[in-house]
Amino acid sequence: MDGTLITTKSGKVFPKDKNDWKFLLPQTVSRLQSFFETNEDFKFVIFTNQGGCKTDSQLNEMKSKIETIVRQIGVPVLAFVAPGKNKFRKPHTGGWESFIRDYNGGVQPNLIKSFYCGDAAGRKKDHAKSDRLFALNVGITFKTPEEVFQNLSRPQEFEMPLFDPIKYMQNPPNNEHVTFSHQQEVSDALETSRIT
């Protein structure tokens, strides 16, 4: 949401209140409306990390803000707000899993056609890479706001983490060469360490 659909009116990094926002680009609303008019099989879902929402009052303000944004967009939207550091915060997939399990009417999304758009893409100017990693973890295509709303197709340089869990799981190391002690020896060692 922030840095992708909207930005602050004040120019500050974080909004000063629920009204301190404007659409990031003038064409954001028209692009979303035309996309969803011509792509009826897509669903518009917002997954947003909101670490600053720590109280019920702040969560209610966030809800009100999202409702105002959605009314102005004029397209049905489902929004998932992750206020804490848990499995629902991107790049974790808890929000996506909740969406599929509880809010998608039993429909399994087409992962090849689906895509995720976000500004935390791991580029030099970005504050993070959590959006790109979220898409990677879910298994869908990632696009930047520039690609979606400005039709920029030139790939921008980004930096991925050195460790890729998907590649690791596709080709896990073979540890058959490692020999383990007999269980009794391990238990004896544990007992000895407890006594000394």
Instruction: State the pLDDT at residue 52.
Output: 87
Q: Is residue 18 part of a domain?
A: yes
Is 31 inside any structural domain?
yes
Residue holding tokens 């990677």? 136
Retrieve residue 169's tokens. 């799981």
| Structure confidence at residue 169 (pLDDT) | 65
In a domain, 125, yes or no: yes
Would you place residue 25 in the very low, low, confident or very high pLDDT band (cuts 50, 70, 90)?
very high
Asked whether residue 60 is domain-assigned, the answer is yes
Mean pLDDT calculated for residue range 140-153: 91
Whole-number pLDDT of residue 194: 55
From residue 78, alpha-carbon distances to 85, 99, 159 in Å are: 21, 9, 30
**Residue 172 domain flag:** yes
Whether 143 maps to a domain, the answer reads: yes
Return the pLDDT at 13. Answer: 85
pLDDT score, position 36? 95
Q: For position 151, what pLDDT does the model report?
A: 85
Residue 1 within a domain? no
Q: What is the CATH number of the domain that holds 35?
A: 3.40.50.1000
> Which backbone phi and psi does 116 adopt, to 5 degrees?
-125, 135
Domain around 111: 6-195
How many domains does the chain divide into?
Answer: 1
**pLDDT at position 167 over 60:** yes
Q: For 77-116, how does the pLDDT look when each residue is reduced to its tens digit (9 = 90+)? A: 999 999 989 999 999 999 999 999 999 999 999 999 999 9
